[in-house]
Amino acid sequence: MRAWRASLRSRLLAWVLVPILAVWAVDAVLTYDAVKRSINVAYDRTLSASALAISEHVTLGAGEPIVDLPPIALEMLDTGDQERVFYRVSYRTGAGADAFVTGYEDMPLAASTQRNGATFFEASYRGEPIRGAALQLDLPSEPPTTVLVEVAETLRAPSATTRRLVAEALGLEAALIALTAVLVWFGVARGLRPLLALSGEVSRRSPADLTPLGADVPREVRPLVAATNGFMQRVRDAIAAQRRFVADASHQLRTPLAVLRAEADAALRQEDPAALRAAVARLAGHSEATSHLASQLLALARAEPGPHGAATEPLDLTGIARDAAAALVPGALARSVDLGFEGEEPVTIRGDAVLVRELIGNLVDNAVRYGRAGGRVTVSAGRGDGGAPRLAVEDDGPGIPPPERERVLERFYRIPGTTGDGCGLGLAIVSEAARRHGATVHLLDGAEGHGLRVEVRFGANAPPSQA
C-alpha cells in the first residue's frame, strides 16, 4: 500500500487496470456464453435435420415400425472432427412400455419430448458429453404408435470452436488492455515531466532567490505552485522584517552608545568631585535609556514574524492583564500616577503570554510616561462588542491628536515636541504584538473627551494567524 501511495504511476495504473480487468473477466463469461449459444444453434439445426431425415424413413411394418436408415441422415453429421454420432429409434404403443427399434439401445433419453418440432438435450454418454435432438412422430395405427427418433453427437467440435472463438475475442481485448497499461505507464511519465522540470527549477535555486515560481505549469499543479509561492512570500517578508530590524537596531543603538562613550571619557577627565559626580549621574541616566532601548528592540524582534513563530497557548487575558498591571504599579507610583485595573471575568485568548505581557507593559508604560503627572491610568480587560476579547488602557493626559494617531504606531516615530526618554518603539511593539495575535489596535479619545484610550480588540474566536 505504501508503495502505491508513493508512486503516482502505480496508483494511476492500479486505478485503470483493476476495473478494466474486472470488466474483462465479466466479458469473458458473457462472450463464452454467447459464442456457445450461437454455435449450439448451428449444430442443433443439423441435429434436428438428421433426426427429421431418419423420421421420414420410418414406416409401419407388421405391428411395429421399421426404419430404412438412409446413409445421408448420419453423414450430414460427419464434420470430420472425429465426432462420434449416436442415434436411437424406439416406439411406444398406447400406454405400453418403450420398445427399441434400432441404433444404440443404452443411449440416454431426452427428459421430455413434444409433438411439434425437435427437443434438444445434453447428457453424458460413454464418458463423453453429448448433445442431441429428439423428434416425436405419431404413426397412424390402432392404437396409435408413437415413434421417438433421437440423434446425438459428442461435443468435441462445438467445444473446440467455442474455445477458439472466445480465446480469439479475449486475446484481442487482452492486447488492448496491455496497450492501455503501457500508454498509462509512459503517459504518466510524460504528464509528470512539468513537475520534474519544476523540482529541477526549485533545486537549482540559490537560497537567496525567493522570486515566485513560473506559472507555466499544468492546471492541476497550479495550486501547489501558488501555495509554494505564498509560502516564499511569507519567508521573504520575514527576512525583510529581520533585515529592517537589524538596520534599525544598529542605527538606533549606535547613537546612544556613542553618547555613553563620550560621557564616560568626559567623566574620566573630571578632577573636581562634584563635576565628576554630575558626569557619572548623566552617564547612569543615559545607560538606563540605552538599556531600555535594547530591551525594546528585543521585544520588537520578538513581536515580528520570524522563523521562531509565536506560541499559541490558551491564555487568560484578564489574569495576564491584572498581573502585568500589578507589576507596573510601583513604577507608576514613582511618577505619582494612580494605576488601576478593571475586569473580573476571565477571558480566553490564544497567543504568546510573553508577547501579551510586552503589549500590556508598553501600553501602560506609554500611558504613565506621556499621561498627566499625578493622573490616572486604568487597565481593563473583558469582552467588547460582539463578545470579542478586548484590552484597554486609558489615561487622562493630553491624548494624541487624531492626525498623529496613525503615525505613532510606526517604529521610532515620536510626536514632534515630545520630551522624555522614550525611544519611539512602544506603540510599534504593541502594534506588532497585536498583529501577531490577529488583534487590532485602536487609538481613541479618553472618557469625557480628554486623554487617550488604546483598545486592543482580539478576534472573536479566531486563532491568531501565523502570518
Q: Which of the stretches 23-31, 269-277, 338-346, 454-462 binds another protein when contact is defined by CB under 8 A? A: 338-346
- Output the nine-digit C-alpha cell for 173: 481485448
Q: How far is the CB of 219 from another protein (least distance, A)?
A: 46
Q: Which of the stretches 200-208, 245-253, 329-337, 408-416 binds another protein when contact is defined by CB under 8 A? A: 329-337
The answer to whether 353 contacts another protein (rule: CB under 8 A) is yes
Residues ≥6 apart with Cβ < 8 Å to 290: 253, 256, 257, 260
The answer to whether 378 contacts another protein (rule: CB under 8 A) is yes
Q: How far is the CB of 324 from another protein (least distance, A)?
A: 11
Contact present, 104 and 123 (Cβ < 8 Å): no
- Of 233, 255, 295, 465, the residue at the interface with another protein (CB under 8 A) is 295
Q: Are strands 452-457 and 440-445 parallel, antiparallel or unpaired?
A: antiparallel
The answer to whether 446 contacts another protein (rule: CB under 8 A) is no
Q: How far is the CB of 237 from another protein (least distance, A)?
A: 23
Q: How far is the CB of 314 from another protein (least distance, A)?
A: 14
- Of 78, 201, 338, 410, the residue at the interface with another protein (CB under 8 A) is 338
User: Which residue reads 505613532 in cell numbers?
Assistant: 408
What is 307-357 written as a DSSP string?
Answer: TT----EEEEHHHHHHHHHHHHHHHHHHTT-EEEEE--S--EEEE-HHHHH
The answer to whether 336 contacts another protein (rule: CB under 8 A) is no
- Of 35, 279, 339, 360, the residue at the interface with another protein (CB under 8 A) is 339
Q: How far is the CB of 366 from another protein (least distance, A)?
A: 18
- Output the nine-digit C-alpha cell for 15: 486505478
The interface with another protein within residues 191-250 (CB under 8 A) comprises none
The answer to whether 401 contacts another protein (rule: CB under 8 A) is no
The residue (of 39 and 299) whose beta carbon lies closer to another protein is 299
- Output the nine-digit C-alpha cell for 249: 537596531
The answer to whether 48 contacts another protein (rule: CB under 8 A) is no
Q: What are the phi and psi torsion angles at 224 (to 5°)?
A: -65, -45
Contact present, 10 and 2 (Cβ < 8 Å): no
Contact present, 300 and 245 (Cβ < 8 Å): yes
The answer to whether 288 contacts another protein (rule: CB under 8 A) is yes
The residue (of 137 and 339) whose beta carbon lies closer to another protein is 339
Q: How far is the CB of 338 from another protein (least distance, A)?
A: 7
Contact present, 101 and 67 (Cβ < 8 Å): yes
Helices 273-303 and 426-436 pack at an angle, to 10 degrees, of 20
* Coil/strand/helix, residue 392: strand
Q: How far is the CB of 295 from another protein (least distance, A)?
A: 5
- Of 24, 341, 405, 443, the residue at the interface with another protein (CB under 8 A) is 341
The answer to whether 291 contacts another protein (rule: CB under 8 A) is yes
- Residue 437: CA count within 13 A, CB half-sphere: 37
- Of 342, 398, 445, 459, the residue at the interface with another protein (CB under 8 A) is 342
* Coil/strand/helix, residue 74: helix
Upstream peptide bond of 143 is cis (omega within 30 degrees of 0): yes
The answer to whether 294 contacts another protein (rule: CB under 8 A) is yes
The residue (of 153 and 358) whose beta carbon lies closer to another protein is 358
- Of 103, 343, 371, 464, the residue at the interface with another protein (CB under 8 A) is 343
The rounded distance, in Å, linking the Cα atoms of 302 and 429 is 9
Q: Which of the stretches 65-73, 188-196, 326-334, 391-399 binds another protein when contact is defined by CB under 8 A? A: 326-334
The residue (of 273 and 403) whose beta carbon lies closer to another protein is 273
Q: Is residue 265 exposed (0-12), middle (13-18) or buried (19+ Cβ within 10 Å)?
A: exposed
CA-to-CA dists, residue 209 to 185, 213, 271, 305, angstroms: 35, 10, 59, 20
Query: How many CB atoms neighbour CB 67 within 10 A?
Result: 20
The answer to whether 66 contacts another protein (rule: CB under 8 A) is no
Q: Which of the stretches 21-29, 117-125, 297-305, 451-459 binds another protein when contact is defined by CB under 8 A? A: 297-305
Q: Which of the stretches 88-96, 159-167, 296-304, 434-442 binds another protein when contact is defined by CB under 8 A? A: 296-304
* Coil/strand/helix, residue 129: strand
The answer to whether 299 contacts another protein (rule: CB under 8 A) is yes
The rounded distance, in Å, linking the Cα atoms of 159 and 165 is 10
Where do contacts with another protein occur on this chain (CB under 8 A)? 288, 291, 294-295, 298-299, 302, 322, 325-327, 329-330, 333, 338-343, 353-354, 357, 378
